[in-house]
Chains A and B, each alone.
Chain A
Amino acid sequence: MTSAPTGLGPMIAAASEPDVARPTRTPGGAGRRSAWYRRLTPYLFLLVPVGLLLLLTYTPVVNMFWYSVTDWDGLDKHKAFVGLDNYVEVFTDPDNLRVFYVSLYYVVGSLVQMALALYFATILSFKVRFKNMWKGILFFPYLINGVAIGLIFLNFLKPGGGLDTVLMKTGLESLVHQWTGDPDIANYSLAAVSVWRYTGLTFVMFLGAIQSINSEIYEAAALDGANRWHEFWSIILPSIRPIVGLAFILGISGSLSVFEIPFVMTNGANGTETFVIRTVWMAFQRNTVGLASAMAVVLLVFVLLVTWIQRRLVPEEEVDLT
């Protein structure tokens, strides 16, 4: 449900080029100093980017693994090694296990989101009046910040708010609930808000993929007497399979790292605590950095696993929109 980067096409293509020096033209009067300088140039350009990459991405990952086997509180100079105790606690404390269960709501939400996105992308790829208006409306929620979305839906779902009013007016009073207050349905409400937020992005990705399908294929199919339904199953769906796979993995990793919407709307109350909310609470409120790191490592491993499985199922080089 997020827009995390996962496409690695250009990087892989670039990495497969051999590291051999191509014949370079040396400008007039190039002495030993300039040859030496030329060899140093790429390193100078990469100094800051790679430095920041190591400092802000790799060091934290390595440290996180180290913290996760200690009892560190985040302040103490001394970190005592505790082995796998933190991991045992992650998988045995029912409060910790609950966050895995909560992410399932968002996983289901992301499937609903993909189905909706696929439907609207398909119908908008054919002739429709006001195409751009529909596209704009469906996409716009993705551009709104998470806090605003949380507040918009607190207002919409509160008792006597927009949704309740609609239900009352249409004679469906029996459906009125404490949408975010009732532990039995709070997670459904929050997952639905996530669907509202992210469907637009998935939809635009799918629409782009469908529109890049060669129109001659449709024409050939039309000659064979294919109807829209046939076109969808035998042309559209197979053609955009890589993008659907990509949306799926974005959905899963996004579902595991949901933060803003439940944080703003319920602050994790009523059984809506997610992985990230709990990890942040452990690290910064309860000062159990060791345990929080173990949680984060588990989350990282999950995300890597899902990515790996998706890569196995959908070969990378097929992902191309342009």
Chain B
Amino acid sequence: MKVAAVTAKYTTLVVASIVTLLPLGLILFGSFKTNQEFLSTNPFQPPADWFNVDNYVLAFTKGGMALAFFNTALIFVAAIAGTILIGAATAYALDRFRFKGRTIVLLLFLLATLVPGVTTQVATFQIINGLGLYGSRWALILLFMGTDIVSIYIFLQFMRSIPRSLDEAAMIEGAGHLRIFFQIILPNLRPAIATVVIIKGIGIYNEFFLPYLYLNDPDKLPISTALFAFKGPYGSQWEAICACVVITIIPILVLFLFLQRYIYNGFTQGATK
């Protein structure tokens, strides 16, 4: 009885792992095959030449993957800097001050969490367009940093654990609020900043809907839309698409292997707080 239960447990784990890894493995196999080979061999047959990197070369030269990584990095750096400043400033004002309208501001942020972003894009588009930002990376940067309530939560929660005595000590020494914010609050928020950088970073890296709606210039496309655009002209060259997919997954895989614990914590926090 006991043995049967243990066997069942490991069998289900192995089956689930195969279901998870098989589609990924076949993409990896495909990415090293030649066009001929891809069409004539079955998907489970390993590539004849594991060092055939033609598809990867094609992905970088014709698919513009390098440019796409650069565009993603550009958007990421600007959006993340903005998110951190906005989140920390909001948390600082709401946690350290009592002022008229504080409850209203809290309620505004509270209500905003209930509005899923995808539902309002029809109207958000008109605003971005009205600002003259359609087709600009700034549209994405603005949306990434201006609509991220989860990060504000994480900062607000963490802000409570920073002792007020630190602010007060600095104030006695004559520091202004701006200096307290930059020299005391921000450095002490480091763990929260790390969490936000990880979740937000993965979110921006994977975001497809916003760049698809707001960017039209092929030279500005980030990873996800570049991958989508590649599928058009190379739709019949699946081995090249496979290589492109592998290229987009590798950075995430490396990040995951090194930062596992932070990623689990970050996402459970992001989803439940």
Binding site for B on A (CB under 8 A): 2-12, 14-15, 18-22, 25, 27-28, 38-39, 41-43, 45-46, 48-50, 52-61, 63-64, 67, 74, 116, 119-120, 123, 128, 132, 134-148, 151-153, 155-156, 160-162, 165, 196, 201, 204-205, 208, 228, 243, 246, 250, 253, 257, 259-260, 264, 276, 279-280, 283-284, 289, 292-293, 296, 299-300, 303-304, 307, 319-321
Chain B CB within 10 Å — which of A28, A228, A257 has the most? A257
In contact, B124 and A56 (Cβ under 8 angstroms):
yes
A56 with B106: in contact, given A7-B273, A63-B123, A162-B23 (CB under 8 Å)? no
Q: A320–B122 Cα gap in the complex (Å)?
A: 34
In contact, A56 and B42 (Cβ under 8 angstroms):
no
In contact, A10 and B153 (Cβ under 8 angstroms):
yes
Q: A162–B93 Cα gap in the complex (Å)?
A: 55
Rounded to whole Å, the gap between the CB of A213 and the closest CB of chain B is: 15
In contact, B90 and A12 (Cβ under 8 angstroms):
no
In contact, B89 and A296 (Cβ under 8 angstroms):
no
In contact, B22 and A162 (Cβ under 8 angstroms):
yes
Instruction: List, in ascending order, chain B residues with CB within 8 A of A22's CB.
Output: 98
In contact, A300 and B113 (Cβ under 8 angstroms):
no
In contact, A5 and B271 (Cβ under 8 angstroms):
yes
Q: A257–B157 Cα gap in the complex (Å)?
A: 29
Rounded to whole Å, the gap between the CB of A257 and the closest CB of chain B is: 5
Instruction: List, in ascending order, chain B residues with CB within 8 A of A11's CB.
Output: 106, 109-110, 113, 153, 156
**Interface residues as binary, B193-215 with A (CB distance below 8 Å gives 1, 0 otherwise):** 00000000010011111000100
Q: B241 at interface (Cβ–Cβ under 8 A)?
A: yes
Q: Which 8 pairs between the two chains have the least Cβ-Cβ distance?
A: A52-B146, A145-B206, A60-B123, A42-B97, A45-B93, A64-B123, A42-B93, A60-B120
Rounded to whole Å, the gap between the CB of B79 and the closest CB of chain A is: 12
Q: B70 at interface (Cβ–Cβ under 8 A)?
A: no
Instruction: List, in ascending order, chain B residues with CB within 8 A of A57's CB.
Output: 112, 115, 120, 146-147
Q: Number of B residues whose C-beta is below 8 Å from A?
A: 104
Q: B53 at interface (Cβ–Cβ under 8 A)?
A: no
A156 with B206: in contact, given A15-B110, A53-B108, A119-B12 (CB under 8 Å)? no
Q: For residues 79 through 117 of chain B, which have their beta carbon under 8 Å from a beta carbon of chain A?
A: 86-87, 89-90, 92-100, 102-103, 105-110, 112-116
In contact, B118 and A67 (Cβ under 8 angstroms):
no
13 contacts between A and B (CB under 8 A): A4-B116, A15-B107, A45-B93, A53-B109, A53-B147, A60-B122, A151-B231, A152-B24, A208-B264, A259-B118, A284-B125, A299-B119, A320-B272
Q: A207–B173 Cα gap in the complex (Å)?
A: 47
The residue in chain B whose Cβ has the minimal distance to the Cβ of A51 is B146
Q: For residues 108 through 157 of chain B, which have their beta carbon under 8 Å from a beta carbon of chain A?
A: 108-110, 112-116, 118-127, 142-143, 145-147, 149-150, 152-153, 156-157
Q: For residues 160 through 178 of chain B, which have their beta carbon under 8 Å from a beta carbon of chain A?
A: 168, 171-172, 174, 177
Rounded to whole Å, the gap between the CB of A225 and the closest CB of chain B is: 16
> Among the listed B21, B100, B147, B271, which residue makes an inter-chain contact with A250, where contact means beta carbons less than 8 Å apart?
B271
Q: A280–B225 Cα gap in the complex (Å)?
A: 16
Q: B245 at interface (Cβ–Cβ under 8 A)?
A: yes
In contact, A46 and B271 (Cβ under 8 angstroms):
no
Secondary structure of the B side of the interface? helix
Instruction: List, in ascending order, chain B residues with CB within 8 A of A300's CB.
Output: 115-116, 119-120
In contact, B17 and A201 (Cβ under 8 angstroms):
no
Q: A15–B105 Cα gap in the complex (Å)?
A: 9
Rounded to whole Å, the gap between the CB of A52 and the closest CB of chain B is: 3
In contact, A143 and B252 (Cβ under 8 angstroms):
yes
Known: A7-B153, A25-B172, A145-B252. 17 other contacts (CB 8 A): A19-B102, A42-B99, A57-B120, A58-B108, A60-B124, A60-B127, A74-B126, A134-B13, A143-B263, A148-B227, A151-B244, A196-B20, A201-B271, A205-B272, A296-B120, A296-B121, A321-B272
Instruction: List, in ascending order, chain A residues with CB within 8 A of B100's CB.
Output: 19
In contact, A14 and B115 (Cβ under 8 angstroms):
no
Chain A CB within 10 Å — which of B12, B87, B114, B227 has the most? B114
Instruction: List, in ascending order, chain A residues with CB within 8 A of B224's CB.
Output: 145-148
> Among the listed A46, A52, A63, which residue makes an inter-chain contact with B145, where contact means beta carbons less than 8 Å apart?
A52
Q: For residues 223 through 271 of chain B, which have their beta carbon under 8 Å from a beta carbon of chain A?
A: 223-225, 227-228, 231, 238, 241-242, 244-245, 248-249, 252-253, 256, 260, 263-264, 267-271
Instruction: List, in ascending order, chain B residues with CB within 8 A of A243's CB.
Output: 272
Q: A12–B111 Cα gap in the complex (Å)?
A: 11
Rounded to whole Å, the gap between the CB of B38 and the closest CB of chain A is: 10
